[in-house]
Amino acid sequence: MTVKNKKVLAYKCKKCGNLQLATTIFCNKCSSQDLETVEVEGKGKIITYTIQNIAPEEYEKFKPYAWVVVKLDIGFNISGFLPGINSPKNLPINARVKIVDYDERGIILSLD
Ligand SMILES: [Zn+2]
């Protein structure tokens, strides 16, 4: 999983055009190994999340935050870190988010 310039690096199958995360070496649709790296828009909607009230020590300073699973508009899911969320009232399912950074926490998201 790589994030560059607020975009997600993905593999695009040269044979069938299928897009997937740049973590596998086969096209998950047609099994071709002929993949190229492409940048895709890091925007999508939240499909589920967990609000972290109890954080590991190294994450204490980032509280409160939610760990969210996002379905990117391009079609696959990622999970990432959404700061500033302390209650489900602040974060409806299907809320729009975008990738803003990538650091030691993982993918950093913000509400879009
Ligand atoms: Zn393919």
25-62 residue pLDDT tens: 788 899 998 988 888 889 999 999 999 877 778 878 88
User: From the CA atom positions of the chain, what is the Rg in Å?
Assistant: 15
Span from the CA of 73 to the centroid of ligand 1 (angstroms): 19
Span from the CA of 106 to the centroid of ligand 1 (angstroms): 28
Span from the CA of 40 to the centroid of ligand 1 (angstroms): 17
Q: H/E element holding 13?
A: strand 7-13
Span from the CA of 103 to the centroid of ligand 1 (angstroms): 30
Tell me: pLDDT of 97 over 90.
yes
Span from the CA of 102 to the centroid of ligand 1 (angstroms): 28
Span from the CA of 33 to the centroid of ligand 1 (angstroms): 8
For residue 43, list its beta bridge partners: 98
pTM: 0.72
pLDDT number for residue 23: 67
Span from the CA of 91 to the centroid of ligand 1 (angstroms): 35
Own/partner pairs for 49-57, CB < 8 Å, 24+ apart? Answer: 49/82, 49/85, 49/91, 49/93, 51/85, 51/86, 51/87, 51/88, 51/91, 53/86
